[in-house]
A and B are shown apart, each in its own frame.
Chain A
């Protein structure tokens, strides 16, 4: 994967250097955050002068310098992981099983392990910096009966180290759940420094809140299971346990204000180090890059906008090129003129043809994806069965709009098994549909859907009554009810609100195992996930729409050779077709339900609302063209239905 990336000049010349710059800045910021951490960790209200002098002497001590070197190493590794794991298209697990599969993926395991280690390292640095009772793992202590001095286990140090490992793991885990490595683009352009300054309070707040949550969870965890690592460490390292001190895995030991304070401060420091690296990386990677529209030298041709837009392999380059297209179409007259220009020998509008062609290709690809999804999912959230014979399929497609009563009449035949949206996207979907739905089912290739399990579930699927436990949209929509609703369906076989499912005779004799039931329930589709997955890369489409519409609008007065006129019918019909597909998609259940906004998390949840943004951008794009051209659109050669739709836009009736 990495070798593939290496092929692109853009990765080599731009992305790598941006990553390096972001890491360099993170390293440069380390002394600042460390100083703040030192100040806070040694804070004493009543001895301010001693506090300041302590801190200054500590900051210049050799142990702190060594800690800084270790922290630099941590930042470097974090930066490397950012570069390796970042993604512009989030992976959206369509079911809980898929999510589990992602978490247990070997790559993710390595990631978690590395982050655990890094967390321990940072916490070691923190405990050394705090000093006092936290500084070393072994402390001299006096045995109570014999009175001789032996080395005892310092539980405070161990506590902090384990907390670091825990926080490292939870960071890595939340990174998957919240799509931490998803890099989204801001709606506005800002210079890097103001953007960093604007984001800094949010990052500090997030790291503090996350540290408090983690400290609470870790304290609870340590309270119950703390004795396991403690006895293990003490036995392997041959350290005594000091019985005179209060053990930390007890209520009184944990309710130590100073300990909890230091734990949260160190945790916040740990998270801040990581979050700052992520933030800087995001800022650097999403910075706009200006591609030349055309070059006088042929060897630079592959770096020009028309070529770069057509690039398939380097996603980041394609995204930045589309962003650049959207920006130039709005802000830069001279570059627009280059787009509309004709090639010097020959007089062909190569630039415009390539750019508009690529944008239209992107948009029509999205249209096809949406149509395929709509074909797969019937309008009431169920699917046409691909395994059924052709006549029943037509029956089911005709009855797909009608509600439950006819379904009851149909289900006893059992030639058309009802399926949940979740099960549809899984292995039970056969034939061509599987290929089509593959892009928005990251679940299928997840390691957890191993052949054995797939067989297990697939076997039960057509016969078991649980294959018919259709989650009604009303139940699915309520997030917290998901689990309870599915357990209910386990117990009585027909959940409330779902069309009645009559168990067939073979199903009654063939009771599925508990594991299969459990898996089946977890494999149910998360609400709106498939819709989110469909529009996961829609930022590209939004830019394409913006760029295209602004270029077309600008061509009204700036296009000297009329190059845009030739493609205008294509563009208009493509936009209208996409609009119809999007409109139909929003009629599906869950498609128009708004996601719950997460407050203060470092993970970016922009992808959850991309479909709304795409719809708005599409309408704005069409309006941009219709308001600019006005009545002249009647002279454009497009089909009658499309003209009718455009007339709606001309009258501002959309």
Chain B
């Protein structure tokens, strides 16, 4: 088991640039400023992005109050707030309605409130408002405060999408082509983005009220695709959506909402959904499809997660001891699942194999409890709960985003990077910490899906910057690596990466 104590001490003063020769080099080293990749790294500040300040429903406060008839008010309340609003309206206008109606509606309202509070005490997350829920279950650390809301690399090309605080999405490509901005009326509180695999154009966006599928023509030069390019998928009771996952073959899309006990399997082109319902857990917060497409992890807000097999769509239940499952990632061959729980400072591993019929228990592979490193300007404490996990597509590097303590000033959130080894036994080895510029904390990270020379970690920082940290290494015999054909294809296209030893670039 690996712990943070064996890590090399983090360099706090400067930004980490890249890994070479098994060493994470930072901007302190002279002559290392040459950025190896020509990927765009835009910066967004909170000031330039203006979020929508008030939700639609509160706009009535700016208008003068006018007394409508009871019928009009009831109809309005029914339209705005459903049954609750209607009952509330009737109860509040007791002098206009017959007495029995007012008393009856008050009783029903009390009964409903009691029932929902009971339901809420079973599943505390149901008492949260929709925005709080998104912030709670998003993979983005400090979602509500961040200028960047979500980030996604395209699985096949050098193209990524960024969701911003003002509910717009920008798409960046590696060359200096125009960056399209996507805006839609329904695009509120974006919690997750994912590009459709085996497709050049489709981007799925998990919004507060619905699921949007943008079709952004890669050949088009338009910077503002119209909202006609977006498909709106919604299902009653299935919002806010906090997680989405495309199947690796691109044929299905699964969406999850913490308030809905069923997850939706969408046939996007046909706009039809198959709900897969399991009541236990009270909702689904996080989804992760294994890269080989055979399994799907579905985390719930309770201390329970499920692993679905995607052939007949049956699931195994995995009750946890303490908290709910916060984040997870699959090894590239789909055989190993790493998980982190809320309230626990360890990483668990589950190993799936078709021969043994699945694992019986999860094993702890890394201990992430607080460790203090002495530094030039005071001690630095590192460690804590895991916010998100990311495994590079070759299966060689694992990045872990550790939550810091916002009260303590020397305990920031950091990204710890492990080297992974799958034979003879699965093992995590320390690699180093990825640090940002002074004062910037990491919020989100994702590995580039097909970086030629090793792995490329893209990090979204708290100051609104997006930076790329390459890890140069050569694959050690494709251990737990890619599917053979992709490795073969990359070998043929790029012979230089096929060397036995780490490249010595001076």
Interfacial residues, chain A to chain B (CB-CB below 8 A):
186-191, 194, 197-198, 330-331, 546, 550, 553, 556-557, 594, 597, 606, 609-610, 612-613, 615-617, 619-620, 623-624, 627-632, 649, 651-654
Chain A's closest residue to B294 (CB) is A331
Are A627 and B198 within 8 A (Cβ)? yes
Alpha-carbon distance between A610 and B272 when the two chains are bound, in angstroms: 11
Task: Flag if B265 contacts A556 (CB, 8 Å).
Answer: no
Do B269 and A616 touch across chains, with their CB atoms under 8 A apart? yes
5 A-B pairs closest in CB distance: A616-B269, A652-B200, A623-B198, A187-B267, A609-B270
Min C-beta distance of B197 to chain A, whole Å = 8
Shortest C-beta distance, A617 to chain B (Å), equals: 7
Given A624-B198, A652-B156, A198-B251 contact (CB < 8 Å): no
- CB pair B493–A187 under 8 Å, yes or no, is no
Would B313 and A331 count as touching, CB distance under 8 A?
no
Contact A628/B269 with A189-B311, A654-B200 known, Cβ cut-off 8 Å: no
Is B92 located at the chain interface by the 8 A CB criterion?
A: no
Residue among B198, B200, B219, B276 with the most chain A CB within 10 A? Answer: B198
Are B200 and A612 interface neighbours, CB within 8 A?
no
Q: Does B277 contact A (CB under 8 A)?
A: yes
8 sampled A-B residue pairs with Cβ under 8 A? A187-B251, A331-B311, A553-B485, A609-B271, A613-B270, A652-B156, A652-B157, A654-B201
Are A610 and B270 in contact, with the CB atoms below 8 A?
Answer: yes
Q: Is A187 within 8 A of B265, CB to CB?
A: yes
Per the bound structure, the CA–CA distance linking A615 and B272 in Å amounts to 16
- CB A122 to nearest CB in B, in angstroms, measures 30
Q: Which of B219, B250, B293, B483 has the most CB of A within 10 A?
A: B250
Q: With A and B bound together, what is the CA distance between A594 and B293 in angstroms? A: 30
Interface residues of B in 247-288 (CB under 8 A from A): 249-252, 262, 265, 267-272, 274-277
Q: How far is the CA of A188 from the CA of B273 in the complex (A)?
A: 10
Task: Bin chain B's interface residue count.
Answer: 35 or more
Q: Does B218 contact A (CB under 8 A)?
A: yes
Known: A190-B313, A630-B493, A649-B200. 4 other contacts (CB 8 A): A190-B274, A546-B251, A609-B270, A654-B199
Closest residue of chain A to B159 (Cβ to Cβ) is A652
Judging by beta carbons under 8 Å apart, are B200 and A198 in contact? no
CB distance from A464 to the nearest CB of B (A): 38
- In the assembled complex, the Cα of A190 lies from the Cα of B275 at a distance in Å of 11
Q: How far is B293's CA from A198's CA once the two chains are assembled, in angstroms?
A: 23
Highest count of chain A CB atoms <10 Å: which of B201, B271, B483, B493? B271
* Residue of B whose beta carbon sits closest to that of A630: B489
Name the contact of A194 in the complex, choosing from B157, B201, B252, B313 (C-beta under 8 A): B313
Q: Is the CB of A187 within 8 A of B492?
A: no
Assess whether B314 is interfacial by the CB under 8 Å rule: yes
Q: Are B251 and A191 in contact (CB under 8 A)?
A: no
Give Cα A619 to B197, complex, Å: 11
Q: Are A620 and B484 in contact (CB under 8 A)?
A: no
| Chain A residues within 8 Å of B425, by CB | none
Tell me if B249 and A330 are in contact (CB < 8 A). Answer: yes
- Nearest B-chain residue to A190, judged by Cβ: B313
Alpha-carbon distance between A189 and B201 when the two chains are bound, in angstroms: 27
Do A620 and B274 touch (CB < 8 A)?
no
Question: What are the residues of chain B within 8 A of A553 when measuring CB–CB?
Answer: 485
* B-side contacts of A617, CB under 8 Å: 251, 269
Q: Cα distance A546–B251 when bound, in Å?
A: 9
Q: How far is the CB of B296 from chain A (nearest CB, A)?
A: 11
Q: Which of A546, A556, A597, A616 has the largest number of chain B CB atoms within 10 A?
A: A616
- B72 in contact (CB, < 8 A): no
- CB pair B493–A653 under 8 Å, yes or no, is no
Q: Which residues of A contact B438 (CB under 8 A)?
A: none
Q: Give which listed residue, A188, A330, A597, A623, contacts B199 with CB less than 8 A.
A: A623
Q: Which residues of the other chain, A, contact B276 by a CB distance below 8 angstroms?
A: 198
Task: Report yes or no: B218 in contact with A606, Cβ–Cβ below 8 A.
Answer: no
Residues of B within 8 A of A649 (CB): 200
Check if A188 sits within 8 Å of B156, measured CB to CB: no
Residues of A within 8 A of B252 (CB): 187-188
Closest partner residue, chain B, to A556 (CB atom): B485
Shortest distance from the beta carbon of A189 to any chain B beta carbon, whole Å:
5
Query: A613 contacts which of B154, B157, B267, B493 (Cβ < 8 Å)?
Result: B267
Cβ of B385 to closest chain A Cβ, rounded Å: 34
A627 touching B251 in the complex, CB below 8 Å, given contacts A189-B311, A612-B270: no
Q: Which residue of A lies closest to B485 (CB)?
A: A556
The smallest C-beta distance from B316 to any residue of chain A, in angstroms, reads 14
A489: min CB distance to chain B, Å: 29
Q: How far does the alpha carbon of A186 sit from the alpha carbon of B219 in the complex, in Å?
A: 33
